[in-house]
Amino acid sequence: MTKTGFIIANLFRKKTRTSLTLLSVIMAFLLFGLLQAVNVMFNAGADFIGATRVMTQARVSFTQALPMSMLPKIEGVPGVARVAPMQWFGGVWHDTDQLIVFAVDPQRQHDAYPEWVMPESQWKAFANTRTGMVVGRLIADQYHWKIGQKIPIASNIYPQKNGSKAWAFDLVGIYDGKDENWQKATNGIFIQKDYFDEANQFGINGRTNFFAIRLADSAQAQKVCKTIDAMFENSPDETKTQTEKDFNVGFVKQIGDIGLMVRWILFAVFFTLLLVVGNTMAQSVRERVPELAVLKTLGFSDGSVLGFVLVETFTLCAIGGLLGLGLATLIGIGVQKSAGGQLPLSVDWHVWTAGAIAIVLLSLAVGLLPALRASRLKIVDALAGR
């Protein structure tokens, strides 16, 4: 037997209680890991490495549409291969399911996104059918849509000129992703921008939410972004150009101040955890007063007893914390893969370091008082049950 063995034996003396406490620590650190990763993702600086596409939106927000007249100017920037306008439609299926629907120029979309794979005949049909629509494989499979069907989709933003928000489109193509990652992202729908511009009641003809820009050379990404934004500086339509990855992150960021939300959620989680683990440790020490007194009787010093309780708390927090962070790492990898690498939710070493600090602080916060109580026990009183 070793001191470590003794500590672990004590930790698991009440298996159900320890397991439930451990579970709460695991859940807390799982949340900690994921939310910290979200925080890191939102606060990360621009990453231009390997970018094949950049996105230009209005500087204030992508909800503020940009004039289509910008398109030829952007396309003239050295390093730009092709520009595709994309307009958010706000699609809803059967009043409940939100769909990712963009009004696009079929040919430009085809050129700017070679990752979307579809037979040329279907691209042509899309270009030639004003009410045409193409959908990603995931969506087609989910709703069992077939080419040739007329699909009624409502928009939660744009009514038609007759005032109705119910639109109908002809499904003319189903696209796949060029590889496994892109296939996982085939959850979008494209409709014809020309038709949308003409038919919507708001008359936002000639404007678009953003431009997707395919680069001729990925090494030029940073330069292209700077050139485009400089070109429209001090104009009524100032722009913000960023990599596709950063754009996607920014899209999610529209929800609100993610950092603040993360901090408040973590505060609530750790405050609860403090109470749960603190109560467990206090209870555990209370139950063991005579045993702790025996340890002291045998010659273990006050410091050793303090150490036993603190190490026991630390072991509980460390096992739970590391398992939680490990799970968060796996989930982060899963999310990255399922988003085709477009959401860099990475539980990286920054998160693990923060997690390790949190484990130590949590252990001290919940373990110190019971440990001090244990170390200050008077042997004769504790043995006499006083």
User: 249 or 371, CB closer to another protein?
Assistant: 371
Give the residues lining the site for another protein (CB under 8 A). 1-3, 5-6, 9-10, 12-13, 290-291, 294-303, 379-380, 383
Minimum distance from residue 285 beta carbon to another protein (Å) = 14
Task: Give 63 or 304: the residue with its C-beta nearer to another protein.
Answer: 304
Return the beta strands (E) in 61-203 as ranges.
66-67, 80-88, 91-93, 97-104, 116-117, 132-136, 150-155, 166-177, 188-192
Q: Tell me how far apart the alpha carbons of residues 114 and 119 are, in angstroms, rounded to a whole number.
A: 12
CB neighbour list of residue 308: distance below 8 Å, 6 or more residues apart: 3, 6, 7, 10, 295, 300, 371, 374
CB of 2 to another protein, least distance (A): 7
Measured from the CB atom, the residue of 171 and 374 that comes closer to another protein is 374
* Contacts of 134 by beta carbon, 8 Å cutoff, 6+ apart: 106, 118, 122, 126, 171, 172, 173, 174, 175, 189, 190
Shortest CB 313 distance to another protein, Å = 16
Q: What does the CA dihedral 133, 139, 140, 145 come to, rounded to 10 degrees?
A: -70
- Closer CB to another protein, 142 or 297, in the complex: 297
Q: CB 3 → another protein: shortest distance, Å?
A: 6
Closest distance of CB 320 from another protein, Å: 20
Residue 19 or 201 having the CB closest to another protein: 19
Specify the residue, 10 or 243, whose C-beta has the smaller distance to another protein. 10
Measured CA to CA, the distance from residue 113 to residue 122 in angstroms comes to 15
Task: Round to whole Å and give the CA distance between 214 and 244.
Answer: 10
Closest contact distance (angstroms) between CB of 15 and another protein is 11
Cα torsion angle, 95, 99, 103, 105, sign: negative
